[in-house]
Structure formats: C-alpha cells, structure tokens
Amino acid sequence: MAEALRVGIAGLGTVGASVARLLATKASELTRQCGRDLVVTAVSARSRGRDRGVDLSGAQWFDDPVEMAKSAPIDVFVGLIGGDEGPARAGVKAALEASRHVVTANKALLAKHGVSLAEVAEKRGVLLNYEAAVAGGIPVIKTMREALAGNSVTRVFGILNGTCNYILTRMEAEGLSFDACLKDAQRLGYAEADPTFDIEGHDTAHKLSILSSLAFGHRIAADDIYLEGISNITQADIRAAGELGYRIKLLGVAQRTDSGVEQRVHPTMVPTASVIAQVHGVTNAVAIETDILGELLLSGPGAGGNATASAVIGDIADIAKSRPGFQHGPVFGRPAKELAPYKKALMRAHAGGYFIRFTVHDRIGVFAAIAKRMADNEISLESIVQHAGGTADATQKTVILVTHETTEAAVRKAVDGVTKDGHLVDKPQVIRIERAG
C-alpha cells in the first residue's frame, strides 16, 4: 500500500469539522477506495478549545494557516476559511507555492483570484480542486472538467443558491411574504444574519463565473455579470406566475452568443412542467447544454456541512488516487495562461420573452397607453390582462403583460416610457421567462 496521504485542514467551522469527522468515521472505506490511508496531520483554526465532535489530538495545531501551508507535514492543504483576501488567499497561495496540493470550497476566492492561483498550481505541477465551491455536493465541476471531453458547451444555467430557492419555495407553497420567509430561513440557519450576499445574487454570481470559465474557456469575470436578486419578488408575482403556468426561480445563466459570452443572475419564470421547476427547498440544480450530449441536469444538496464536506473529501480522494509524476489536467479545463479574456455579450433577445407587472391608477386610457408604449418599441404581446382585484385599493389595478421574444433594451425603454406617463402607483416588475429543461 502507498504511503498515507497527509491532510492539513485550515478552518474548522461547520464544513471543516464535518470533513475531519468523515475522514475519521469513513477511514476504512476511504483506504479501500484510494489504496492508501487519508490522515489529518495538521489543523488550523481560531479556537483550540471548541468541541468539534472529532478527536484531533493527533494533529499538529497551527494558529497561522500560512505557516501550516508552508511547514506542516502535509501533502494536501484543505482551505476552508472564508473570504477572498487575508488568510484565505494567503494560505492557499502559500500551499501551492510550496508544491502542495490544494482543495478548497471558497467560491469567492476562486471568483477573484482563481486564474492566478491556477497558474501557480500548473507551474508547480500540483492539483487545485474546488468541487465544493459550486453547488455543494453536486459533482458539477468534475463533470464539466473531465466527463464532457469533446463536447462544446453552449449554455449552462441553474439554481445555485439554496437560501433563495428555499424562500421562493415557501412563498409559493404557503403564500408567505418575502420578509416572513427570510426570517424563517434565518431562524433555521439557511440564511445569514446579513443575507445580502445570498438574496441579492452575489453568491450565485460567484458560482456562475466559475462554471462559465469552465464552459467557455475565458478568464473568470465575476464582476461582469448582470445581477438581480429576489428581494423585490412579491406574492402578486408568485400568484401571476402560477396562473400563467410558470414558477419563479433565481437562476444563474451563462451562454455563448455571436457577440461573446452572456452571464446573468436574476429571478426567472420557468415552465412548471420543466424539470428545474421541480427543484424545491435548499436543493440546487445545474443544467449543461452541449452539442453532443444535449442537456444534462445535475441536482442535489447545495449546502450544509455534510454535503459540502462530501465534495471536499471527493477532491481529497482524487488526489490520493493520483501518483507521483502523473501529469495533472489544467485547473479550469485548459491551461490558465491560455484562458481567453472575457468578452461580454450584449444582453440579447430572450426565448420566451418577459413578464411585466404594472400597478396603475384605475382611470380611462391607462390600458391603451401601456399597449402603445409596447407597440412603439416593437414589442409583440402574447397577452395583456387587467386585474381589477389585483390590489387592496379600489382606485388601483394590476396590469400583467407577457411578451413574445424581444430585447432587453426594448423592454426597458417601454417600461421607462410607461413610468414617465405617470400612470404607475408602484415600481414596475420585470421578470424574464426562460426556456428550461
């Protein structure tokens, strides 16, 4: 049997502690699968005295993760510290420069520094594995990096944030407001005390930028993504979507177009009969469309200690199975130095069009004025419906439009025109309708 693989874990929070526990409780099974023992020989965390449910007395303790990365008796540095700077970045970089393999679950770090870290890993001939950084326990990174050889990806999209999916699921199932669902998600531990990173789409954007780089071979561009969150979704939108045969999901979408790569994160209406519309609660799902395979949908737990730890351990096991002298594949599917600059595509026409909801003053001419603004911008309407009982105020009405395929620019111009006409009581709501598998 080969020598034991020595593992150092930086960060012993929920995920780090789960990794340590699973490596201990699954030791025999992992040894059989990998052909060698996987042993935690070093750890680093802020508190030594905290009970983490696992015996770490045999591991060397380091207060400084960078020092552990440089000098600990380890073969693999497991970076589970949050943030894209500070010790999170310094520890991973130091480990790679010391020619140690790295496993990380830090999507923010990869979204900001992934390409430069990949360059170091490839120069040193070591692995940088990050399955746990995107979609928790779903093996989407390995699928895109290894299993789709020969396929050209045309689009990748999915539900990449369990907090948002949980909130939208509860809003539909129980008729609750966004605020009520958010408070419950915080109580259950699905949302942070400050939920902005999740509910405004930033977490999804970081994950999407990594998937997009893998899919299309460009440098990661997390700061160049069209971004909308779910905080403005109301029960009126949820009910209208259901009546029209749709369900609202927060999707991250990246697709190749004639003008470049389009990356966007926003609430989306998907047909209730589609597979992705059936993904509920904290579950994540990723769809990959290719020229050979067609559409592949991966779904499963997207967050939580065990789900994320499972992906981390899978990455460690892959390293354990590799052998000295083996030429490792590139971190992002092609050599980091060959990744193309990101070319942002124009927001183009969206198949399925748009859902537009206006709350207007109930007076003569409003309906006709809205229809004219759409016609002036060459927007073809699939339907336009007035709901007299759409609001509690008898002097107001709700007008709901569903467009045929059109452009982002045309919709925004038409909506701005309706707003300037002075007919609106509240901000208009615009939600894209997406074809989905």
* Residue 123 neighbours by CB under 8 Å, 6+ apart: none
pLDDT at 347 over 90: no
Which of these ranges, 285-299, 322-336, 374-388, has the smallest mean pLDDT? Answer: 322-336
Return the pLDDT at 52.
87
Return the pLDDT at 390.
54
**What is the tens place of the pLDDT at every residue in 77-134?**
999 999 999 999 999 999 999 999 999 999 999 999 999 999 999 999 999 999 999 9
Please answer whether residues 263 and 254 qualify as being in contact, where contact means their C-beta atoms are separated by less than 8 angstroms.
yes
Which residue out of 93, 107, 207, 397 is catalytically annotated? 207
Q: Which stretch of DSSP H or E encloses residue 186?
A: helix 178-187
Confidence of residue 333 (pLDDT cuts 50, 70, 90): very high
Return the pLDDT at 349.
65
Reading the block at residue 431, the tokens are 């939600």
CA distances from 269 to 210, 298, 356, 434 (A): 24, 20, 11, 6
Report how far residue 110's alpha carbon sits from residue 108's, in angstroms, rounded to the nearest whole number: 5
**What is the tens place of the pLDDT at every residue in 155-177?**
999 999 999 999 999 999 999 99
**Dihedral Cα 253, 258, 261, 263, nearest 10 deg:** -30
Intra-chain end-to-end CA distance of the chain, in Å: 46
Once rounded to an integer, what is the mean pLDDT over residues 57-82?
Answer: 96
Confidence of residue 327 (pLDDT cuts 50, 70, 90): low
Domains located in the chain, CATH noted: 5-137+305-338 (3.40.50.720), 145-301 (3.30.360.10), 354-433 (3.30.70.260)
Q: Which residue has the tokens 């999170």?
A: 88
pLDDT at 389 over 60: no
Return the pLDDT at 136.
87
Which of these ranges, 192-196, 204-208, 305-309, 326-330, has the smallest mean pLDDT? Answer: 326-330
Determine whether 207 is an active site residue.
yes
Once rounded to an integer, what is the mean pLDDT over residues 176-197?
Answer: 90
Confidence of residue 329 (pLDDT cuts 50, 70, 90): confident
Q: At what angle do helices 27-34 and 14-25 cross, to 10 degrees?
A: 80
**What is the tens place of the pLDDT at every residue in 214-224?**
999 999 999 99
Q: Which stretch of DSSP H or E encloses residue 270?
A: strand 260-271
Q: Which residue has the tokens 């502690």?
A: 17
Confidence of residue 437 (pLDDT cuts 50, 70, 90): low
pLDDT at 391 over 60: no
